[in-house]
Chains A and B, each alone.
Chain A
Amino acid sequence: MSSDVTGSGRGRPEPIRAVPVRHPGRWVAVVVLAVLAAMFVHMVVTNKAFQWPMLFDNILSVPVVRGAVTSIELTILAMIIGIALGVVLAVMRLSPNPILAAAAWMYIWFFRGVPRLVLCVLFGNLGILYSRLEFGLPFDHQLGALFGIDLNARLFGVNAVTLLSGFTAGLLALAMSEGAYMAEVVRGGIQSVDPGQAEAAQALGMRRPLLLRRIVLPQALRVIVPPTGNETIAMLKDTSLVAYVPVTNELFFQLQHIGARTYAIFPMLVAACIWYLAMTSVLMIGQHFLEKRFSRGHGPRAIRLRGARSAGAGGAVGTEVDT
């Protein structure tokens, strides 16, 4: 405001050229870190146990690349099922119907409480419990025996071992666990939307399914998308857990297998680190742009225009409190 020759008419003074504050601590830190980094590089290069040629020979071999593809497939499928399940569970949990709300609560309680690794092994061994999976009336044999008839009310059945072969079991374990986490993310998103929005929609004669789909969920997306990115990155890493189902064509299983066969255990673990880091890095870049896109048009504009205080920024404030 006062930079130009105006008002006082005294002209603009010389710009300030002050001596900056010195930061000796930073230089000490740089030296210490440089020494540590050099030590690390020295170890990596000179320690023969790393067996770098072994790593380079195998990291792009066909089974390993196939394993990476399997991991990506698992991530995508598990997230799709998990998100769909999460939306349904979140809507159930916020439903006025107490039975639906309680059922959703039970589901979330179970699948958030049991570790994913345990779930993976559990689903891989469900074949022990059932030789066949059948759908029909419950207790049909017992009820039949009660009335002295041979009642069989099974509608259809499949061989459990086929259904719960590695990939499906691993996918189910990851997807159902993800559903519980996504339910909480979606619930947070729905609750971050100003209740006045639902009221206005109701006052216009909209019913709950319509107002959720057209008014509340689109506004909740802004809050739901960033944590969903985190969930996807976490899911990609957690696909390594299905090695214990076991899913034999999965990345981590393949690398461990090669390591065990060739006695090059450590190089293959390093290869696993490199693979997962590469894949999660790609996802992190994607998430960065996704977040940028979804924060667009809300924050700055709402602050700039005072009229927006209630409608736009009201929701944004609630958002930050809720997450």
Chain B
Amino acid sequence: MSDEDAGGVAQAQVPADPDRYMVVADNVHKSYGRSQVLRGIDLAVAPGEVTCVLGPSGGGKSTFLRCINHLEKIDAGRIWVGGELVGYRQVGDRLHEMREKEVAAQRSRIGMVFQRFNLFPHLTAEQNLIEAPCRVRRIRRADARTRAGELLTRVGLGDRGGAYPAELSGGQQQRVAIARALAMDPELMLFDEPTSALDPELVGEVLQVMRDLAASGMTMVVVTHEIGFAREVADTVVFLDGGVVVESGPPSQVLENPQQERTKLFLSKVL
């Protein structure tokens, strides 16, 4: 799975070929008012690869992740997912903003898991899973329910389909949220600090589901503070601080033998 040149490309200044990679970010900039959150992010994620994004709070990790499915608009640079420019269409040498319909179609191919789960509280676990497939993908209800049952079983909650989110523990809710994202058959999964809102004893069950997902060959970008998970599962670790990629490469390199002072300092605090 691990792609030797992926880490190299992410570090290099030459933009990667968008068609060969699942995600390519090229010199991405984003600011809120006068504060610059992203100041030139380059990143390439090969299909089937797991990329963990580490770094201190406020470093722009979550913002960058949200740019990948256009929940945030970027100010400069380019992002491609599956070889397709995100949020814009290139016509000649000009960019045209996409219509809501086109953005929605792009997003439906990218699964996202949130720090605070964001399950729909008025729907049961099963209804959470079939809502988007039925109404966005127009899949038949019976088929969607069969699929939802399979996915809930896969995350270890095959018997809780009828439960409302409020009746589930945090770890169970996050597993349902992962299953909900998978129900759209995404080609890419984004995780925004998926275990940060969980009680410590519930973190393991969610990480196990993510480990299984990675083993099944899903392309994943994971913003996390779980260094152990990154060391074990990631093909590439990206250390983000101050809106730039400070260092990136395989975990053995970035986590065990960091070259940059900022990476060393961060790791010495969290390990």
Contacts and interface: CB of A to CB of B under 8 A. Distances in A.
A binds B: yes
Interface of A: 194, 196-197, 199-208, 210, 214-215, 218-219, 297-298, 301-302, 305-315
Interface residues of B, number: 42
Interface in B93-137: 100-101, 104-105, 107-112, 114, 116-122, 131-132, 135-137
| A-B CB proximity, top 7 nearest | A205-B108, A200-B118, A307-B169, A204-B132, A307-B170, A310-B116, A312-B166
28 contacts: A197-B120, A199-B114, A200-B114, A200-B118, A200-B177, A203-B69, A203-B111, A204-B108, A205-B104, A205-B107, A205-B108, A214-B131, A215-B120, A215-B131, A219-B122, A297-B164, A301-B167, A302-B166, A305-B167, A307-B169, A307-B171, A308-B165, A308-B167, A308-B168, A308-B173, A311-B173, A312-B121, A315-B121
Nearest to B131: A214
Given A205-B184, A297-B164, A214 B135 contact: yes
Given A202-B71, A206-B135, A207-B101, A312 B114 contact: no
| Interface majority SS (helix, strand, loop, mixed), chain A | helix
A203 B181 CA distance: 9
A26 B236 CA distance: 75
Nearest to A194: B118
Contacts of A197: 118, 120
A313 B166 CA distance: 8
Nearest to B110: A203
B166 A196 contact: no
Contacts of A305: 166-169
Contact of B170 (A196, A214, A218, A306): A306
A204 B136 contact: yes
B82 to A, nearest CB: 14
Contacts of B261: none
B214 interface: no
B232 interface: no
A196 B117 CA distance: 9
B219 interface: no
A310 B197 contact: yes
